[in-house]
Structure 1
């Protein structure tokens, strides 16, 4: 294939990572195209709440919130502890404010700072999200930017493998054809949709239902291993403790963070909900098929501002009653158990006794009648392990050298949520590394091609 037929940057995957990379690379002056194996772009990004943390953003300053990358690193490392990609945590924190400002100011993303809550892992409000709290809105804004720039995007085109010459990636096989490229970005998400890979690396969550995008089947890990890439944090994943059943939508964790609780079929609590929606997922799994979220009308009124919650509630997902006993009957729970649980929890929230599970964040609790209940089940949303990358999003080998021409981001790359389990995931970690590494990869690819790096 002639040099003029060689694409500057080929992006494999049209989620937030791939779309952001393509826009950044195009605006830096190089030719870029995107291929996506599914029939529509978006992937897990479309299913998320669209939340991206930004430490020290101008939107925080406008709201009078003091924050910094150092504080964000302290917060994130406090949740994840040390892991295989520690330097990436610092990099993402330092890039986070400019990232959200780029999204909103330069790309016109319909996002704003969330001040109603901080969410898991953050000591101050720093999440920036679409007003709807729907990741699809963010994806649509990125797609608009891709379309406005005339960047080719081919959906329904699965990649069969990478083309490697002399240890360097020089293209990919797509639809039976070879696309030659100078640089290639793996933006294919993780392996949560691949049961065999989940059982191999994340066995504790392998039995849970998978609620993420269907295309997340681990190709990036397989291709990376073939070119000698290093893997990291392979046991880490993002779980969700409360998927409303049978509606299948996320029960907003605002319901729990603002003072709600989770109970088992016998009406009793089984752990400290302060662990967060991901960290608490294994606890919910241990209870059997279902758990039950209990909260009150005041908390419901806050959660109703989120579209997905409002739709779930409109479908009859929340049952209401004036007493714990009546609420228990509505869901066939043990009435005495739930009554005793609510009484003990409310006493702890009032400071009259220590909480049995060590919870310290009660917010609007004690709970007040009428009480609501939602049947929920735990789920797996995406994996956090993948290819180790450096500060330029280049895929690394175990010896510390980079695989020539190969970049990775988002779920294809090792994340910042700890080495294993669900407890290291802080709100927004997934989109932060997707968008952050995507943008970095696009800019670095352009710099290398233009001889600036």
Structure 2
């Protein structure tokens, strides 16, 4: 698949304009390389821009301020526990070890602004999650785009990857693209060839919106299952890497988000409500029984499995004390995703929950808080957690949605893509972000995606520049 007719030439060619791709672009440019970013959609950012802006960091300044004892090793162990030890431990360790430096880089080099409180997400041993002031991933993407403009890094939108172009010794010399591409019309655009004199960095994200491809991996995930991903989260970047010999890794491990709302499409505004308020500061019950059925702070896989069992109708409930942590509350109420009630009885009636059973569930939960231990499900209890006694009470109906692909292509700790034949690096090819596999194992912890993308995006950018030039 070699070509001699190059439309354009750069030192480093980056495919994808989310957290990983832009981190790689910034690092490569600051190391002196001539860089280009290609993006198939009309606007840059992808899933990164619409994410919740949650950033897990071990040993952060906010943890020190709040007296929280944490370490990269503890974060690493949490990742392995959630991942059922299917993680490639050396990759997970890189993320944990470099989480703090990634945070400082985002603040000092990009001027990203974060809120002054930490969040405790399910599966994490301690509160370690930062949240952008904007309450979304755009709070990082926009500063990244500003940095790219400052560094004069071109971002070619509406440019779709067709294939990788290999040369001597199977080295990746560049890519074939469709410019002026109109998603999702595969035949649109003009074919061009972009040369990468040093390396290509693949950062195309996951395939959560690619029903055809995800059905191959998990036949249960058909059109009836919604996704939080944007429409462009498809598999062509992953497939292009497989075509040049990359190793597929754990592709069937596809995560559903347990916090998504039944009453809206996609990520919406309800997901952050549940993540930041409903689960940590409230309870989740089955509307058919009024009973809790899982630890609301367990990892995503455990909660999703429990929600889908026995045709349950999950509802998260929180009171006015816990709801103050919900950054999207006003939008949720306006759109009818969340409803407010003056009493538990009114909430039960509106959600068709057995009233007596729900009252008993809330009473038992409040008793557990008073004793400082959830003896029913062993939920971790934050220090500022208060009993569910202060109206108004808020409810959100939940439905798991396809959210994240733990599997992808295999990389090493240098972000080099490894071949399926010999397990050696494919010359001239790097990857970072959700298109890679092995970091999270069977289940990714919430807020571990942004840090992974930035850590390995930066690694890929630096090492791509150091790649031996093969002219």
Asked if Structure 1 and Structure 2 have the same fold, meaning a TM-score greater than 0.5 normalized by the shorter chain, the answer is yes
2:365 to 341, 345, 361: 345
User: Is 1:292 paired with 2:315?
Assistant: yes
Change (3 A) 1:260 1:128: closer
Give the CA RMSD over aligned residues.
2.6
2:213 to 197, 206, 209: 197
User: Is 1:312 paired with 2:332?
Assistant: yes
CA distance in 2, matches of 1:144, 1:204: 41
Match of 2:467 in 1: 448
User: Is 1:186 paired with 2:186?
Assistant: no
C-alpha deviation, 1:367, in angstroms: 1.2
How big is each residue's C-alpha offset from its partner over 1:293-330, in whole Å with a ceiling of 9 and x where there is no partner?
11111011222xx2x33321343433333433321112
CA distance in 2, matches of 1:173, 1:388: 22
Hey, which bits of structure 1, 4+ residues long, moved more than 6 A?
A: none
SS at match of 1:162: strand
How big is each residue's C-alpha offset from its partner over 1:69-107, in whole Å with a ceiling of 9 and x where there is no partner?
223222322322322522101111122111111111122
Contact 1:281–1:379 at 8 Å: present in 2 too? Answer: no
CA distance in 1, matches of 2:330, 2:101: 32
1:135 to 130, 134, 137: 137
CA distance in 2, matches of 1:355, 1:80: 25
SS at match of 2:381: coil
Contact 1:193–1:212 at 8 Å: present in 2 too? Answer: yes
Contact 1:84–1:233 at 8 Å: present in 2 too? Answer: no
Contact 2:201–2:464 at 8 Å: present in 1 too? Answer: no
- Unmatched segments (≥5 aa) in structure 1: none
Match of 1:40 in 2: 43
CA distance in 2, matches of 1:270, 1:126: 26
**Structure 1 stretch 261-270 or stretch 355-364: which is displaced more?**
355-364
Change (3 A) 1:450 1:352: closer
CA distance in 2, matches of 1:71, 1:21: 27
User: Is 1:228 paired with 2:245?
Assistant: yes
CA distance in 1, matches of 2:468, 2:230: 33
SS at match of 1:411: coil
Contact 2:87–2:440 at 8 Å: present in 1 too? Answer: no
C-alpha deviation, 1:425, in angstroms: 1.8
Per the normalisation by structure 2, the TM-score is: 0.86
1:437 to 456, 460, 463: 456
C-alpha deviation, 1:396, in angstroms: 0.5
CA distance in 2, matches of 1:106, 1:28: 14
- Unmatched segments (≥5 aa) in structure 2: 179-190
C-alpha deviation, 1:111, in angstroms: 2.9
2:17 to 2, 14, 19: 14
CA distance in 1, matches of 2:460, 2:397: 42
Match of 2:348 in 1: 328
Contact 1:113–1:127 at 8 Å: present in 2 too? Answer: no
2:303 to 252, 266, 280: 280
C-alpha deviation, 1:189, in angstroms: 0.3
